[in-house]
Structure 1
Amino acid sequence: MKGKRFLSAPVLAVLSSIVFTYYSSIFVFLHDWLNLQSSPGTLNAFIYSLFASLTLFSFFSCLLSDPGHVPSSYAPDVEFAKDNVEQKKCNKCHAYKPPRTHHCRVCRRCILKMDHHCLWINNCVGYWNYKAFFVFVLYATIASIYSMVIFICSVHHQDWDSIKGSSPLWIFYVTYGLLLFILTITLLTLVGWHVYLILHNMTTIEYHEGNRAKWLAMKSGQSYRHPYNMGAYKNITLILGPNMLKWFCPTAVGHLNPKDGVSFPTLRDNS
């Protein structure tokens, strides 16, 4: 079943982009700039290869990981459920949903702490693979910035007049540079967005739900605060884990919650 996730045009596009960008950065632009046989060229090739490998490993981790399914034995806390509209039966799964759980129309099941369904990994991003997804985006951003630096330095080192004199080479340089710039900006925006979500301990779905809740609260003269926001550092440890040395390892479990994604600490717990 997991192998079928590779049979997707967006997934194959991501893999192709990683391979193409890696080959071009190392064997074309870095070689033209520093020469791979030189010490600086070898060092830069090693560092870039490291980030590219981490990007690929993180990509496979979030693609192959189960985002989180509701345990068959799950039963809601009846007293708590009275005040929590999230703990109700799913209209499609016909089972009680734990807090922060949403039904994915693509996966056709409820996902624990669902953030969104990502077509680029052909999988949902949820409780069990959100950390791997974030780390993948982070490493991809670093690798993309590194690629941009290598490209710019290579172009600066080249004889620009000779490049303009060759139409195929000119088209390749311009097209590659434009695509790399768009990719880098996109990834920077995406990683910035998820840093914001982590600092506030919310998902993309909860962000949009929170905006509506704020609007409704303002209409009634009340205030709204995201119930799972425990403070920046606590939020980070709840998602990436208590050990800082493992924050950027996609396979290291980051959750402090012992109930496997069906219960989460809230502001009310601390009051």
Structure 2
Amino acid sequence: MKFERFLSIPVSAVFLLTGFVYYITVFVFVEDWIGLRSSAGSLNAMMFTLLCFLCLFSFFACVLIDPGQIPASYVPDVEESRRSDEESQKNGAQLRQCDRCSTYKPPRAHHCRVCRRCVLRMDHHCLWINNCVGYWNYKPFFILVLYATIGSIYSTFTVIISSFQKDFGGRAPLKVFYVICGAVMIGLSATLGTLLVWHIYLIIHNMTTIEYYEGIRASWLARKSGQSYQHPFNLSVYRNITSVSLSLSPLFCALGAGSTFHFSRLIFPHFNYICNLSIW
């Protein structure tokens, strides 16, 4: 079942794009820039090869690792559920139930209409990995975006440098090829760079993509009632970052079961807003 995810067209497109970028970077632009037979050229080729390997390894991890399924043994805190509604809202203990799965959902879990199941700490469903990005594979997803951004920026740099050094000698098709490759790499670098900055922002605030958009509506509802809203899982920058278990290896994923999370003590009165929202 997991390996069937590789059969989708977007996943195949990622492999083709990676192979194309690797070939033109190493065998065209690095060769034109400093030559593969030179020590500097060989070093650059080896470094970019390692970077591409890390990208593909992270990509495989994103596709194959289950994003997080709600444990069959998951039971909400019964003691909390017996409290009065006012006390439950104050302590963020409202029960969340999925209408489609007919089961209780832990905090931050959401139902994915594509995967047709609830996913722990769901960030979004990614077309390019044919899988959800959730609690267990968010770390390799972020590492993938990081490595891919570095690789695309490096490739863009080699395209620009080799283009200025290249003597086209009136060969218009070759010049067009260089221009197209440069445009593709600049666009790819800008796209991946934007995605990287976006997820750095989310990690710093201990937030998922879904929670960001839920927070916009929650803020609006809070203002209407004359209150203020803060994201319930925003602890501190250090604790937010370490909660993702950030290391440069995609194998060291999140810690814990993914069904319980620490809350900020400052926001419990407004936790009911984000508990009752679901846009996915």
Instruction: Provide TM-score, normalisation by structure 2.
Output: 0.89
- 8 Å contact kept, 2:121–2:134: yes
Matches within 5 A, 1:244-259: 247-255=247-255, 258=256
Counterpart residue number, 1:150:
158
Q: Quick one: percent identity of the two aligned structures?
A: 55
Counterpart residue number, 1:94:
102
Distance in 2 (alpha carbons) for counterparts of 1:234 and 1:158: 49
Deviations 1:167-223 (A, max 9, x none): 321221121111111100000000000000000000000000011111111111111
Distance in 2 (alpha carbons) for counterparts of 1:30 and 1:76: 57
Deviations 1:143-170 (A, max 9, x none): 000101111111111115x2xx223212
- 8 Å contact kept, 1:70–1:111: yes
1:169 partnered with 2:174: yes
Counterpart residue number, 1:55:
55
State the Cα distance separating 1:79 from its structure 2 match.
4.1
- SS of the residue 2:103 aligns to: coil
2:124 to 116, 121, 131: 116
Distance in 1 (alpha carbons) for counterparts of 2:204 and 2:211: 13
State the Cα distance separating 1:268 from its structure 2 match.
2.7
2:231 to 219, 226, 235: 226
State the Cα distance separating 1:254 from its structure 2 match.
3.4
Deviations 1:41-90 (A, max 9, x none): 01111111111111111011111100000011111113445434863221
- SS of the residue 1:239 aligns to: coil
- 8 Å contact kept, 1:86–1:97: no
1:134 partnered with 2:139: no
Return 5+ residue gaps in structure 2 as ranges: 82-87, 269-280
- 8 Å contact kept, 1:86–1:99: no
The letter for the 1-side match of 2:238 is Y
Distance in 1 (alpha carbons) for counterparts of 2:185 and 2:97: 45
- SS of the residue 1:68 aligns to: coil
Instruction: Provide TM-score, normalisation by structure 1.
Output: 0.92
After superposing on structure 2, the runs of 4+ consecutive aligned residues of structure 1 that deviate more than 6 Å are none
Kindly indicate whether structure 1 or structure 2 has the higher relative contact order, using CA contacts under 8 Å at least 6 residues apart. 2
Please provide the CA RMSD for this pair.
1.7
The letter for the 1-side match of 2:116 is R
Distance in 2 (alpha carbons) for counterparts of 1:18 and 1:92: 38
Return 5+ residue gaps in structure 1 as ranges: 242-246
1:183 partnered with 2:188: yes
Task: Give the paired residue count.
Answer: 260
Distance in 1 (alpha carbons) for counterparts of 2:127 and 2:267: 38
